[in-house]
């Protein structure tokens, strides 16, 4: 009788080993207060206006852009992006087109702080933890993208108590529009550790790669940006206590 039950006990043990543990919600994880504090700090500074410099590199097909630009919200609309290098006449056609697009963009299109971090945390689950970091993942649920096509990875620096990176990655190919199909996408934002008590973690650099097919032609786009010389030029009324 005892021997007859041994195989059943053995297979039950194997099934227990093979069953994945329930993923721990970010809201239940012991680092949840750190995540919320980081998000709240970013929100508190989000309405401020900042000037900053961007070293930009991108490549798509044969078009390569290398430029350094300075954004200053104190300038008139259409003149807020200043080309620092190279000289305008040395920019190629792709570079001039990109600069023109920047000049037409809105200030809020270029956030230096975490964007919608609280919303991400509410849906995120722990996927990895070490002594120094905790990584959470959440599904990207946006109307502009097919369901279950993208996921976002949030990396928390536990020692510094700030989110050090946010990375959006494709889970499978998807079609952002009828004439285009994205096969692979990774877009990552890296944030610098706050340099003083009470300061937020500002965006330090970004990198991205997108490949797929559009208009029946393959494409691959790569981008890298480095942010520096961030200057607070205007404090929002709420932040100033007005």
Q: Where are the alpha helices (DSSP H) in the chain?
A: 2-18, 32-45, 93-104, 117-123
pLDDT, tens digit (0-9, with 9 covering 90-100), for 23-70: 689 889 999 999 999 999 888 888 889 999 999 999 998 899 999 999
Judge whether 86 lies within some domain: yes
pLDDT on residue 13: 38
Output the 3-class SS for 21-68.
Answer: CCCCECCCCCCHHHHHHHHHHHHHHCCCEEEEEEEEEEEECCEEEEEE
Residue 234 CA, distance from chain mean position = 25
Task: Please count the structural domains in the chain.
Answer: 1
Q: For 197, list phi and psi in degrees, rounded to 5.
A: -60, 130
Q: Is residue 153 part of a domain?
A: yes
The 8-class DSSP code of residue 109 comes to G
Determine the pLDDT at residue 86: 96
Confidence at residue 155, expressed as pLDDT on a 0 to 100 scale: 97
pTM: 0.84
Beta carbons within 10 angstroms of residue 156's beta carbon: 26
Is residue 140 over pLDDT 60? Answer: yes
Q: What pLDDT score does 107 carry?
A: 63
* Strand residue runs (E) in 140-214: 150-157, 162-170, 174-177, 180-191, 203-214
Instruction: Report if residue 16 sits inside a domain.
Output: no
What is the Rg, in whole angstroms, of the alpha carbon atoms belonging to the chain?
23
DSSP label at 90?
G
Mean pLDDT of 84-100: 93
Domain span at residue 152 reads 24-234
Residue 102 lies inside a defined structural domain of this protein: yes
- Output the pLDDT for position 235: 64
Verify cis geometry, omega within 30 degrees of 0, for the bond prior to 86. yes
pLDDT-based confidence at residue 5 (cuts at 50, 70, 90):
very low
Summarize the confidence of residues 206-219 as an average pLDDT: 94
- In a domain, residue 80? The reply is yes
Per-residue pLDDT reduced to its tens digit, 143-171: 767 778 999 999 999 999 999 999 999 99
Q: What is the pLDDT of residues 166-200, one digit of tens each?
A: 999 999 999 988 889 999 999 999 999 987 767 78
Residue 169 maps to a domain: yes
pLDDT at 96 over 70: yes
């Amino acid at each position: 009788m005892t021997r007859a039950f041994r195989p059943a006990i053995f297979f039950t043990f194997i099934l227990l080993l093979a069953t994945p543990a329930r993923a721990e919600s970010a809201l239940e994880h012991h680092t949840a207060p750190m995540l919320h504090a980081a998000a709240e700090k970013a929100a508190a500074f989000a309405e401020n206006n900042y000037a900053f410099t961007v070293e930009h590199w991108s490549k798509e097909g044969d078009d390569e852009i290398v430029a350094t630009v300075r954004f200053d919200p104190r300038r008139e609309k259409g003149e807020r992006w200043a080309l620092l290098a190279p000289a305008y006449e040395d920019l190629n056609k792709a570079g001039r087109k990109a600069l023109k697009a920047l000049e037409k963009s809105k200030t809020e299109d270029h956030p230096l702080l975490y964007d919608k971090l609280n919303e991400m945390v509410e849906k995120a689950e722990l996927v990895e933890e070490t002594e120094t970091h905790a990584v959470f993942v959440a599904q990207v649920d946006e109307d502009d993208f097919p369901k279950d096509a993208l996921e976002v990875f949030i990396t928390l620096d536990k020692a510094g108590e700030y989110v050090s990176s946010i990375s959006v990655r494709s889970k499978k190919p998807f079609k952002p529009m009828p004439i285009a199909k994205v096969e692979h996408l990774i877009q990552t934002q890296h944030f610098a550790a706050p340099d003083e008590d009470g300061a937020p973690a500002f965006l330090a650099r970004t990198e991205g790669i997108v490949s797929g097919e559009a208009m029946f032609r393959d494409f691959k786009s790569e981008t890298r940006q480095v942010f520096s010389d961030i200057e607070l030029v205007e404090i929002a009324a709420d932040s100033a206590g007005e």
